[in-house]
Structure 1
Amino acid sequence: MSTTSTARYDSHADWFIDYSSDWRSAATDYLPEDLSDQRVLDLACGFGQLSRPLADRGATVVGVDLAGQLIDRARQQESEEPRGVSYHVGSATATDWWDGTAFDGVVCNMALMDIDDLDAALATVRSVLRPGGWFTATLFHPCYPGDPQDPTSLPSWPPDRGYDAEGWWTTGQSGVRGHVGAHHRKLSSYLNAVLAAGLQPTRFDERSTALPTLFVITATRS
Structure 2
Amino acid sequence: MRAPAHILPGSGQDGPSAEAGGYEGTRARVEHYFDRTATRVWERLTSDAPVSRVRQTVREGRDRMREAMLSRLPADLSGARVLDAGCGAGQMTAELAARGAHVTAVDISPALVEIARRRLPRDMERRVTFAAGDMLDPVHGAHDYVVAMDSLIYYDAPTIAAAVDRLLGRISGAIVFTVAPRTPLLMAMWQAGKLFPRADRSPVMVPHSPARLAAAMAEAGIPARLKEIERVARGFYISTCLEVAR
Measured in 2, the distance between the counterparts of 1:200 and 1:51 equals: 25
The answer to whether the 8 A contact 2:176-2:244 is kept is yes
Measured in 2, the distance between the counterparts of 1:35 and 1:63 equals: 15
| Aligned partner of residue 187 in structure 2, secondary structure | coil
Partner residue, 1:179:
201
Partner residue, 2:129:
86
| Aligned partner of residue 15 in structure 1, secondary structure | helix
The answer to whether the 8 A contact 2:88-2:113 is kept is yes
* 2:28 aligned with 1:5: yes
> 1:139 is matched with which residue: 156, 159, 179?
179
| Aligned partner of residue 169 in structure 2, secondary structure | helix
Per-residue deviation, 1:27 = 3.2
Structure 1 unaligned residues grouped into runs of 5+: 147-153, 160-169
The 5-angstrom pairing of residues 104-123 of structure 1 reads 104-115=144-155, 117-123=159-165
Per-residue deviation, 1:45 = 1.2
Amino acid in the other structure paired with 2:124 = P
Measured in 1, the distance between the counterparts of 2:152 and 2:105 equals: 15
* 2:227 aligned with 1:203: yes
Partner residue, 1:150:
none
Measured in 1, the distance between the counterparts of 2:66 and 2:221 equals: 21
Partner residue, 2:22:
none
The answer to whether the 8 A contact 2:79-2:101 is kept is yes
The answer to whether the 8 A contact 2:182-2:207 is kept is no
Measured in 1, the distance between the counterparts of 2:149 and 2:221 equals: 18
Measured in 1, the distance between the counterparts of 2:204 and 2:91 equals: 19
1:40–1:193 distance in 2 versus 1, CA, 3 Å: farther
> 1:16 is matched with which residue: 25, 29, 42?
42
What's the TM-score once normalised by structure 2's chain length?
0.66
| Aligned partner of residue 35 in structure 1, secondary structure | coil
The size of the alignment, in residue pairs, is 195
| Aligned partner of residue 103 in structure 1, secondary structure | coil
1:10–1:129 distance in 2 versus 1, CA, 3 Å: same
Which structure is higher in RCO with an 8 Å CA cutoff and minimum separation 6? 2
* 2:169 aligned with 1:127: yes
More strand by share: 1
| Aligned partner of residue 53 in structure 1, secondary structure | helix
1:87–1:120 distance in 2 versus 1, CA, 3 Å: farther
Per-residue deviation, 1:201 = 2.1
* 2:213 aligned with 1:190: yes
Structure 1 runs of 4+ off > 6 angstroms?
A: 208-212
The answer to whether the 8 A contact 2:84-2:92 is kept is yes
More helix by share: 2
Per-residue deviation, 1:181 = 3.0
> 2:187 is matched with which residue: 155, 167, 182?
155
Per-residue deviation, 1:33 = 1.8
Structure 2 unaligned residues grouped into runs of 5+: 3-25, 49-58
1:207–1:183 distance in 2 versus 1, CA, 3 Å: closer
